[in-house]
Amino acid sequence: MFVDKAKISIKAGKGGDGCVSFRREKYVPFGGPEGGSGGKGGDVYLVADPHVSTLLDFTYRPHYRAQDGMPGKGKNMEGGGGADLVIKVPCGTVLQSESGGVIVDMNTPYQKLLIAKGGRGGRGNVCFKTQKNKAPKISEKGEPGQKLEATLELKLLADIGLVGCPNAGKSTLLAHITAARPKIADYPFTTLSPQLGVCSHKSVHFVVADVPGLIEGAHAGRGLGDEFLRHVERTRILVHMVDISGFGGNQPAENFKLIQKEISEYAKKINKNILKKPVIVALNKTDLCPDDAVLKQVKLFRKKTKNPVFAVSAATGKGVDALLDETVRMFSSAVTEDSLEPRAGREAVREYILEPEFVIKRKDNTFVVSGNKIEKFIAMTHFNQEQSVERFQDFLKKNGIERALKKKGIKQGDIVRILDMEFEYTD
């Protein structure tokens, strides 16, 4: 099965917890702290793998987690790092964050990208030794790993896109000019998912994509819909195949107009750039028609469209060489669209918004404090260690949170809530 869209959730590993430990040896009084720090959590990477061709696996397995770091131990032993996780995706996969902004386009084979960073290990009590506190009973928990909810969308990387009505002979042409062997049959909707092939014409190599047939109303979901047009979004040229014996009781020219309209509906909805692509018209199945009828159609199409028109037979190969000549000629002048260009409803670059360090919201006698730094601190603090609690109070003071709480009018006995932790305020 060919799947080209999937939703996944990714979590990097949490850092290992730091350790509280003291040296205990015969004849060594006051041995001092020796609790090691935790190991770093594993990172999550995305790799564009040419051997992967669909996103199918991601629909079965949407959750990805890198390994957590190991906790630190006594005798100054640091915990081991968690193993990294590498997620393999097909080349041409675009990863988008939940908000819709494009994060990355995995369009180069073996491109590797860090998408979620593992948390650092929590410090052991060795790290908290100071002149004042020579026996620190304090350690940190490991930092949580980064989380990401994202959508993977596969957009095939082809140079030429074959479009047209069902049964027009797109797959037959693909089979004729490339080594691909798509299913070919005398009924509509034989091709259910995009097929790729590599064509070599006069020592120019290019990738051709054959997509399922379109019908009137495809933009509204009729037939197989128009979703798979995303696979021609990045092609340089479209070859529009028209069966000159007609399809669905329509004249060839009518069918041509109909499909062009569906493409522009898609363009309006998703990506206007698709309209800028050069279109070559290939009038197919000429072997079935008398020569004068073919000539009449060619003239008619030349009059009605500004596009180059070719009469071919995908079955016998007649006229295909001339079509490829023109394709190669146009090829050099056509430009590929960068998929990171702005698209309807999406922003091209990730915005980095500088957040205030913390925010305090008051509801009656409860003060809710939020902010990255404070939340991370909470996640890394052992509240059952007396000295850790002192360190936390110190943190509130140093970061101006206590002052801000007072300014908001906090009184003895009021509740302060941070994440899922609550405590009573004492002056």
Ligand X SMILES: Nc1nc2c(ncn2[C@@H]2O[C@H](COP(=O)(O)OP(=O)(O)OP(=O)(O)O)[C@@H](O)[C@H]2O)c(=O)[nH]1
Q: Which residues bind ligand X (CB under 6 A)?
A: 166-172, 184-186, 188-191, 212-213, 284-285, 287-288, 313-315
Nearest to ligand X of 111, 245 (CB atom): 245
Binding partner selected for residue 185 from ligand X, Mg ion, none, CB under the kind-specific 5 to 8 Å limit: ligand X
Nearest to ligand X of 110, 189 (CB atom): 189
The identity of residue 298, as a single letter, is: V
When binding is defined by CB under 5 A, the residue of 21, 93, 139, 171 that contacts Mg ion is 171
- Does residue 193 belong to the site contacting Mg ion (CB under 5 A)? no
- Does residue 178 belong to the site contacting Mg ion (CB under 5 A)? no
Nearest to ligand X of 17, 210 (CB atom): 210
Binding partner selected for residue 139 from Mg ion, ligand X, none, CB under the kind-specific 5 to 8 Å limit: none
Binding partner selected for residue 220 from ligand X, Mg ion, none, CB under the kind-specific 5 to 8 Å limit: none
When binding is defined by CB under 5 A, the residue of 53, 59, 76, 190 that contacts Mg ion is 190
CA distance 48 to 102: 16
- Does residue 172 belong to the site contacting Mg ion (CB under 5 A)? no
Q: Which stretch binds Mg ion (CB under 5 A): 106-114, 185-193, 323-331, 381-389?
A: 185-193
Binding partner selected for residue 189 from Mg ion, ligand X, none, CB under the kind-specific 5 to 8 Å limit: ligand X
CB 182, min distance to ligand X, A: 7
- Does residue 255 belong to the site contacting Mg ion (CB under 5 A)? no
Instruction: Tokens 């601190």: give the residue.
Output: 377
- Does residue 284 belong to the site contacting Mg ion (CB under 5 A)? no
Q: Which stretch binds Mg ion (CB under 5 A): 66-74, 132-140, 184-192, 370-378?
A: 184-192
Binding partner selected for residue 167 from ligand X, Mg ion, none, CB under the kind-specific 5 to 8 Å limit: ligand X
When binding is defined by CB under 5 A, the residue of 67, 93, 178, 191 that contacts Mg ion is 191
Nearest to ligand X of 188, 217 (CB atom): 188
Binding partner selected for residue 113 from Mg ion, ligand X, none, CB under the kind-specific 5 to 8 Å limit: none
> Do residues 312 and 323 touch, judged by C-beta distance below 8 A?
yes
Contact footprint for Mg ion (CB under 5 A):
171, 190-191
